[in-house]
Amino acid sequence: MKHVGSSVFPFAFALLLSFSWATWAHTHENFLQCMTLRSENSSSISKVIYTPANSSYSSVLQFSIQNTRFSTPATPKPLVIVTPSHVSHIQAAINCSQTHGMQIRVRSGGHDYEGLSYVSDVPFVLIDLINLRSISVDAENSTAWVEAGATTGEVYYRIAEKSKTLGFPAGLATTLGVGGHFSGGGYGTLLRKYGLAADNIIDAQLIDVKGRFLDRESMGEDLFWAIRGGGGASFGIIVAWKIKLVPVPSTVTVFTVNRNLEQNATKLVHRWQYVAAKLHEDLFFRISLTSVNSSQEGKKTIQASFLSLYLGVIDKLLPMMQESFPELGLMREDCIEMSWIESILYFAGFESLDVLLNRTSPTRSLFKAKSDYVQEPIPELGLEGIWQRFYEKEGETALMFLTPYGGRMSEISEDATPFPHRAGNIYKIFYGVFWEEEGTAASERYISWMRRLYSYMAPYVSKSPRAAYVNYRDLDIGSNGKGNTSYRRASIWGNKYFKNNFDRLVQVKTTVDPANFFKDEQSIPLFSSGWKKGGD
C-alpha cells in the first residue's frame, strides 16, 4: 500500500497543478476578452496588454523593478500586465479583475522596497502606470498636474523648464514614481522648509473599486486625507496629483564634508544630533554613514558625510554654520552656489539635466532596508556599537542616512495627513544593506545582518510604537498574511507607520473598499466584526 501511495501522490499533485494552471489560463483568456469588451477604446487595448506569451512581457516586467531580490526565476509573475494609456483601461482592468477573481498590483516607479507593487503569491494582474506620465506646469499659479506614472526627475525637469524659482519637496532619487512616492509621504532636501510631498498636494484623481473617476470634491475629504500619506494602493488607483509648487531662491548653496573616525567623526555625529533639528528651516543638513578603507592598510573606518542644502548664498550660510556647528570646520571652499534644479543633480550624482528624464535607476541591486525615528540623541557609546556592526563583512556595503526633522515638520499636526512623524522627532534613520551575490543563502546572510543592526538600535529609537516610514516598506515589522486580515494583526505594523491615524485609515478603507479588493501584505484592513477603536 505504502508503495502505491508514494507513486500516486506525485502524479495526483502534478494533475492538480496542471488543472489549476489550466483553470487560470482559462480565467486569463476570459480576462483579456473582458478587457476588450469594457474598454472605451477597444482598438488600442491590445497595445497595452502583455501576457507571458508576448515577447515584450519580460522586458516590460523587469523595466521598473528596482530591488532585484524580486526579479528571480522563483518570484511570482503577473498573469497579465496592463500598461494603460487611458483612464478607461484602468477602469476596465479593475472591473475585469473583480469579475474573474484576480488580484491587482499597481506600479508607478517600482521602488516598493518589498516588491509589493509588482509581486503577489496569488494570481494577479499588474497595472503598470508607465504610460500615464504627463506633467502640466502652471508657473503663474505655482501649481502642476502630474500623472501617477511620472517620476520625480521628470517633475523637477518640467518645473525647471518653466521657472528657476519654483521647486517641489519630493525625493532625492529621481526615478521614484509619484503615484506611490507622494501617497506614502515623500520627502527630500526641502523637508524642513515645506514638509513632505503629501503636505503640498491640493487635488487628486483616483479610480475607485467601482471604476468611478473621482477628484478631491467627488471623493470627499476623508479619502483625500487617506491617500496623502496612507499609501494610495489600499484605496483605489491614483491617476494624477495636483501639486502646489513652492518658491526657491535663484541661488542655493550645497556642501559635502567627509569626516572619518580619525577625524573625530563620532563626536561630530553625536554633536549633530543636538543641532540639526534646531537649525533655521532654510538649512537641510543630513548625514550618510558608510564603512570605508582606512589610511592604515587593511583596516576599515567609518565615514560620516555631512550633506547640506541651504536656501541662500554662501555669505549667509557660513556665519550660520560657524554659530551653530563650528566643530565641523566648514570652509568657503567646501561650498558651491548653484540653482535649485542643479542641486537636484548634485545630490543625485548627475551632471546633465537630461538625465532627470531617464527612468532607469543607475543603482539597481539586491537590498534590504528599514527605518527608525530618533527622539533623544544617541550617546557616543551607542554610535560606537553601530560602527562595530559596520565592520562586519555584510556591513561593508551598508549605508545609514540620518535625516533631520524640525522646521516645518514640527509645525504640521500629527493628524493633518496619515503621516504622523512630526514634532518630537530629531531625525529619521534609513538603514540599507546592498549586495551582488545571487542566491537565497547570500540574501539571508545580509538580511540577517540588517535585522541584528535593527535589534541593536532598539534602545536608542522611538518606542510604543517603534515608528517606521511607510515608503521604506518593511515586512519584518508585520504582515497581513493571506486572505482578509484581522484589525489586530494589521495594527502591529499599522501603528508603527501611522500611529493614532491608523484607526481613521481603517474607517476610510471600510467605507470606500468594503470587499477589500485593493489588498496586499501591508494594505489597510477592514473593520473586524466586534471591532472597536483601539481594540480588535
Which residues are catalytic, by number? 472
β-strands 300-310, 398-404 pairing: unpaired
User: Can you tell me which residue has the cell 541584528?
Assistant: 452
List C-alpha distances in Å: 243 to 202, 274, 375, 510. Answer: 6, 33, 30, 27
Cβ atoms of 396 and 437 within 8 Å: the answer is no
Per DSSP, the chain holds a count of helices (H) and strands (E) of 17, 18
Q: Which amino acid would we find at residue 287? A: I
- Residue type at 189? T
**56, 346, 524 from 353: Cα distances, Å:** 30, 10, 38
Question: Is residue 469 within 8 Å of residue 185, measured between CB atoms?
Answer: yes
**Closest listed residue to residue 123, CA positions, set 225, 56, 36, 52:** 52
Q: Which residues pair with 177 in a beta bridge?
A: 151
CA 357/CA 368 separation, integer angstroms: 27
Element (H, E) at 420: none
Rounded Cα distance, 19 and 395, in Å: 46
Show the cell assigned to 268.
561630530
Q: How far apart are the first and last CA of the chain?
A: 49
Distance CA 180, CA 109 (A): 8
**Residue 525 contacts residue 490 (beta carbons within 8 Å):** yes
To which residue does cell 471591532 refer?
531
Using omega within 30 degrees of 0 as the cis cutoff, is the peptide bond preceding 379 cis? no
372 CB-contact burial (10 Å; exposed 0-12 / middle 13-18 / buried 19+): buried
Q: What is the 3-state secondary structure (H, E, C) of 351-408?
A: CCHHHHHCCCCCCCEEEEEEEEEECCCCCHHHHHHHHHHHCCHHHHHEEEEEEECCCH
CA dist 379 and 450 (Å) reads 21
Report the phi/psi class of residue 469: left, alpha or beta, with left for phi > 0 and alpha for psi in -120 to 50: beta
Distance separating alpha carbons of residues 15 and 184, to the nearest angstrom: 43
